[in-house]
Structure 1
């Protein structure tokens, strides 16, 4: 090597060693302060999940389960910023120009507190599934109920909850389940177990799921059915009943299908305790659509005999609550109307909400004979077409309470949730109270978890699927879309108690 070459090489090495932007050295990380906005319910003082804050330059954040958003933008600490707000069921303040949003000064040392008035009767508690439940609170250094490097079961989103209390555990089952590692996820039911929460457990912290997973850590199929790989598998109608020997068994209706439209097969599946998976025990003809457990069933006793009541827009199908009866199609009864007369019969399918509404419109059904077309308590001229929901006995009201989605509602086609009551599980449900509304987003398949009730049923909890699907809205809410949201409804709250009194009066004028 020549002297000149040695000198040139030495100069290059000196430059590489002294200049941090050249060569292989890592530039120093710049510390950017994290600022906080926290949204609080003005009535309860608790954090509000699912508040979207959008800056003037179109940056977007969504509040976590504690109602916090963490903002880490260079130069924003100590500066005033305006945010447009989007949410569901809360009033957004407007300025003198009619612009809806907030103007706050961001400080790394002090959170900006924003209180919002709730319009919904039900209070949004938390998101139960998916990733980043308390992301922003954790980034800001607050203690959080749970923070893992990965979400439970590596789940990004989960659809349509079903539950069963079986062998001392709550069994949780979800439909289609998405993951972060690939666009396609699990389409043969996911599952988890948890201990029944005591009254002292704060449900704002969510549920401590123990998810069934594969060896790769992702949620595994609860009904694999590997010998029939075509199609997705959905289960519903989970119920615990005695078998021929009096032993409790967990069963459900299963449907293997090509998406929403075409069904390939359906029947009854039984939970195998040894494998924690469902197995087919009976297939049913595709033409026999209602003689299976479906929806969110309950067990109801009449004159010493236990019946399984099930249905989607109301509990309008029943069968004796034993495994042998459930497997015998001839023992199913449907609640059906002929003219203005209702009866349990076994030949024809049940009357649905759409049937009642059509008959009312045609003038062939009297108002007092309608079971599944409740009037809005606040707007009696409006009737609600029932979609899917649940019916549970409520010891505080001493009635069966229905929590259900309206189909073809406004402002959301499938996101308006109603509360109704009846003395019998199959109705009539004559009046209803809107407890939840959504702005062009969907909230479907709500389920009232009576095992989470508080104060003797004065406080109830329900969850459902939040998504942009079927809403006509192309915007998906980051982290929240296609996940389960938990709500609380306090029947003693001033507004709810007043509406319940109005419902009692129109249902029974003597009250």
Structure 2
């Protein structure tokens, strides 16, 4: 009898629900729903698609009517009509539906929102199946800056300041959650560390200010037991650090406890760490996010060494170039001395603000997902992709993969644990917020101050970037095939990166040619006089008649210029690299 009453009440409730019109916005290429698409009516009623790309529309007075919607989204585009409006007219009927396809301008694809309330709100309203059963998780409304590590067969996620439902002030002493290692295409099912109905403060020891953690790593103790370690800062405000040190996660109480305190002038871990080998020893490298996300601090990957500031090394410049030097005090090399990241399609030099660097087995190079400071479309919302032969460089050419219009997307990081097809497909996320914009902007409902996940395919020719070509005597080779690394002669596209805007260069005996030959090309060159390119010329020795190729003018009394073979990308003269650093594969 009780079950019959419940079913009857549910039936009455469902009949009382309005007949929503379902609008589904999808990526024209992948046909996947696009989150964060704005639909705006003529009278400025605004809707935003959920993480399935769904908008549940019901407006008294507009049902059974022909309604125009303006359509826009960061990094996506809908075509203009004859009057210049980007939008569509829909016949709105209760229970009806319409699918709209948008062109993706971003190279990376926006997948879903990771945190906050109403991730799949509109899908719930129209009865669409969900990747997750929760429409609000632990009363979390917004979360700042993600850190993540795999610890004891689970993924441990940590965030900074966390907004709650019941009051504007939330948790300012670190929030955390766990999840299983699952397919990232279908969302992240987070299980928060909770206290009552909200996120638990994971750094309760701090009494004077807010706490942020970074550099979350797993190291073994003296008993070979895994320990979860992080760097923490207790802050009075955004710039005033009260205390800094390391914390260790206590599995019984499920909070962080102090491990060691550093002097504020000490070298210390910062940003998103990665592991690499140096002379057969494992090191942790730290990509300091500010002012640039490049790894100029390292320490041996042991629990003992990470607690000793004297054991940290910093990249410094001397008369011979760059060296790693031990030193307790935080004396850093000026990034302008060794970072020359620039847009491969323009003359613009990029100033990076935050990001991550990890080894990519598909590319067989280190890859950067970085946030630009002072971007054209948004001050802190432009995300770039770059590659280098070593983690400290040469970082030269980059491609924008995500853009925002006067909105911020900061502290992005890749999650290598989610890589698919040996790194051909990668995943990254960042914090979407209306702070730090050039012009004040209204916060996007539900999405603001939350984490958004993206997917990037590295076999997309838009992220085929010029790589260093090394000159070894009279031969050219990329890092993978070079027997020694004397100098970088120029940049070009490796043989596995054929693209429509490049020309294949083959080896014909001792000469280079653009004539198609059997086998793979030596490299791909620029097709025209593109930005940053220079002529690669063929010279013949006047005495020996041997051929030599160079982007530099050779002495005319010894060499005769025969022809221009192709155009290749320039090598900045101050590039640096460190081939003693090997990936931990």
Same fold, TM-score > 0.5, yes or no: yes
Contact kept, 8 Å, 2:466 with 2:492, in 1: the verdict is no
Distance 1:174 1:501, change over 3 A: closer
> Which residue of the other structure, out of 345, 369, 391, is the alignment partner of 1:425?
391
CA deviation vs aligned residue, 1:27-78 (integer Å, no higher than 9, x gap) = xx97643112111100101100000111111111100011010111113233
Query: Counterpart in 2 of 1:192?
Result: 177
Residue 299, structure 1, aligned to residue 266, structure 2: no
CA deviation vs aligned residue, 1:78-110 (integer Å, no higher than 9, x gap) = 321112223110113222222232222223343
Gaps in structure 2 of 5+ consecutive residues: 1-14, 470-489, 494-521, 524-585
Residue 83, structure 1, aligned to residue 60, structure 2: no
CA distance in 2 between partners of 1:387 and 1:189 (Å): 22
SS in 2 for 1:137: helix
| Greater relative contact order structure (CA < 8 Å, 6+ sep) | 1
Residue 491, structure 1, aligned to residue 472, structure 2: no
Query: Counterpart in 1 of 2:380?
Result: 414
Which one is further off, 50-59 or 107-116? 107-116
CA distance in 2 between partners of 1:504 and 1:339 (Å): 24
> Which residue of the other structure, out of 329, 354, 359, is the alignment partner of 1:388?
354
Contact kept, 8 Å, 2:397 with 2:465, in 1: the verdict is no
SS in 1 for 2:310: helix
Q: TM-score, normalised by structure 2?
A: 0.75
- Report the CA distance between 1:352 and its aligned residue: 4.8
CA distance in 2 between partners of 1:160 and 1:453 (Å): 20
SS in 2 for 1:139: helix
SS in 2 for 1:315: strand
Query: Counterpart in 1 of 2:150?
Result: 165
- In the comparison of the two structures, how many residue pairs are matched? 454
Structure 2 counterparts to residues 313-332 of structure 1, below 5 A: 313-332=293-312
> Which residue of the other structure, out of 297, 313, 324, is the alignment partner of 1:344?
324
Query: Counterpart in 2 of 1:125?
Result: 111
SS in 1 for 2:61: coil
CA distance in 1 between partners of 2:105 and 2:56 (Å): 26
CA distance in 1 between partners of 2:243 and 2:354 (Å): 22
Distance 1:103 1:393, change over 3 A: same
Query: Counterpart in 1 of 2:124?
Result: 138
Contact kept, 8 Å, 1:105 with 1:112, in 2: the verdict is no
> Which residue of the other structure, out of 444, 469, 472, is the alignment partner of 2:435?
469
CA distance in 2 between partners of 1:504 and 1:34 (Å): 56
CA distance in 2 between partners of 1:430 and 1:156 (Å): 39
CA distance in 1 between partners of 2:51 and 2:430 (Å): 16
Query: Counterpart in 2 of 1:265?
Result: 243
CA distance in 1 between partners of 2:407 and 2:212 (Å): 23
Distance 1:352 1:124, change over 3 A: farther
Structure with greater helix percent: 1
Residue 500, structure 1, aligned to residue 464, structure 2: yes
CA distance in 2 between partners of 1:56 and 1:268 (Å): 54
CA distance in 2 between partners of 1:268 and 1:441 (Å): 33
SS in 2 for 1:330: helix
Query: Counterpart in 2 of 1:174?
Result: 159
Distance 1:310 1:120, change over 3 A: same
> Which residue of the other structure, out of 206, 210, 213, is the alignment partner of 2:194?
213
Distance 1:35 1:352, change over 3 A: farther
Q: TM-score, normalised by structure 1?
A: 0.85
Aligned-residue Cα RMSD (Å) equals 1.9
CA distance in 2 between partners of 1:88 and 1:107 (Å): 29
Structure with greater strand percent: 2
Contact kept, 8 Å, 1:373 with 1:386, in 2: the verdict is no
Query: Counterpart in 2 of 1:445?
Result: 411
CA distance in 2 between partners of 1:184 and 1:410 (Å): 33
- Report the CA distance between 1:406 and its aligned residue: 0.8
Distance 1:317 1:51, change over 3 A: same
Which one is further off, 129-138 or 501-510? 501-510
> Which residue of the other structure, out of 209, 233, 237, is the alignment partner of 2:215?
237
CA distance in 2 between partners of 1:352 and 1:405 (Å): 19
Structure 2 counterparts to residues 278-293 of structure 1, below 5 A: 278-288=256-266, 291-293=267-269
- Report the CA distance between 1:337 and its aligned residue: 2.8
CA distance in 1 between partners of 2:319 and 2:449 (Å): 41
- Report the CA distance between 1:502 and its aligned residue: 4.4
- Report the CA distance between 1:146 and its aligned residue: 2.5
Residue 403, structure 1, aligned to residue 369, structure 2: yes
CA distance in 2 between partners of 1:176 and 1:478 (Å): 18
CA distance in 2 between partners of 1:31 and 1:128 (Å): 28
Gaps in structure 1 of 5+ consecutive residues: 1-28, 357-369
Contact kept, 8 Å, 1:238 with 1:293, in 2: the verdict is no
Distance 1:435 1:394, change over 3 A: same
Distance 1:252 1:31, change over 3 A: closer
Contact kept, 8 Å, 1:38 with 1:114, in 2: the verdict is yes
Structure 2 counterparts to residues 51-130 of structure 1, below 5 A: 51-130=37-116
Which one is further off, 91-100 or 319-328? 91-100
